[in-house]
Amino acid sequence: MIRATTSPIARQDSPTDPIDAVRTARGAVGALIGLLERTPGLHVLVTSRQALRVRGETELSLDALADEPAVQLFVDRARAVSRRFTLTDTNAADVAEVVQRLDGPPLAMELAAARMRVLSAGSLLDRLRSSVDVLRASAGDYPERQRTLRASLDWSYNLLSERDQALLARLAVFAGGWTIEAANAVCTAPDEAEVLEPLASLIDKSLVVADHDELRTEPRVRVLETVRVRAGERLDARGRGRGPAAPAPGLVS
């Protein structure tokens, strides 16, 4: 999920300047606020993994792609690297499973489609069943953090606090979704707030998704499959002693 934020002070015909990953640049938020205050009518489009929480901000959350748009993106990008690629009755099921396994992030679709230059959809799927390392960018204009899916996931993970990292790793035990009660069950927190606070932080950072349903008293929570797999690897590393020396307070080690 990407969060796009804009300033409502802009006129509809005013210029729009995109700024990517603004929260990762030191001093960027303060500089942006100063720029908006000094430049009436300026309209700034910002991408960030979480809202900036500044005055005048309008937030738009862009969720992972649903199955049909994800398949269309995959096919379009696959044809861009291999004009011979066509979605057929023979490969449609494999393409659909690739998309479902990746769970919708556009970057994952782009990286997977790039492999259609040398792989079939079926052979790509076979490799994805064991590892996401097959997903690498061939284009040289990708930022370093977006050249592999693993690099993108690690970049986002490494920006988390130790507390948030610990919870995300433990949530990897859930395939599909879970309830807040189930999340509490895998932690030894003295009270529920010790889980709710890092969980809210992970939701704000678009690593965890809360699905609200009027028929449920509480939302069902889930992690995108690609994030869950990488978080599971982190959990395994912690179990083998290669993670942080001590667990975050209140969470199971």
Structural domain includes residue 251:
no
Tokens of 248: 């975050």
> Is residue 134 located within the same domain as residue 165?
no
Say which residues have a Cβ less than 8 Å from residue 210's Cβ, sequence separation at least 6.
203, 219, 220, 221
CATH number at residue 208: 1.10.10.10
Q: How many domains does the chain have?
A: 3
Residue with the two structure tokens 């189930």: 182
Structural domain includes residue 252:
no
**Domain encompassing residue 198:** 160-239
131, amino acid identity: S
User: Cα(68)–Cα(109) distance, rounded to whole angstroms?
Assistant: 12
pLDDT in tens, the chain (253 residues): 444 444 443 344 444 555 665 655 556 778 878 888 888 888 788 877 777 777 778 877 777 778 899 999 999 999 999 999 999 999 999 999 999 888 878 888 999 999 999 999 999 999 988 888 888 776 566 677 778 888 888 888 888 999 899 889 888 888 878 888 888 888 766 678 888 999 999 988 888 888 877 666 778 888 888 888 888 887 777 665 444 433 443 444 3
Where is the domain boundary, 62, 83, 101? 62
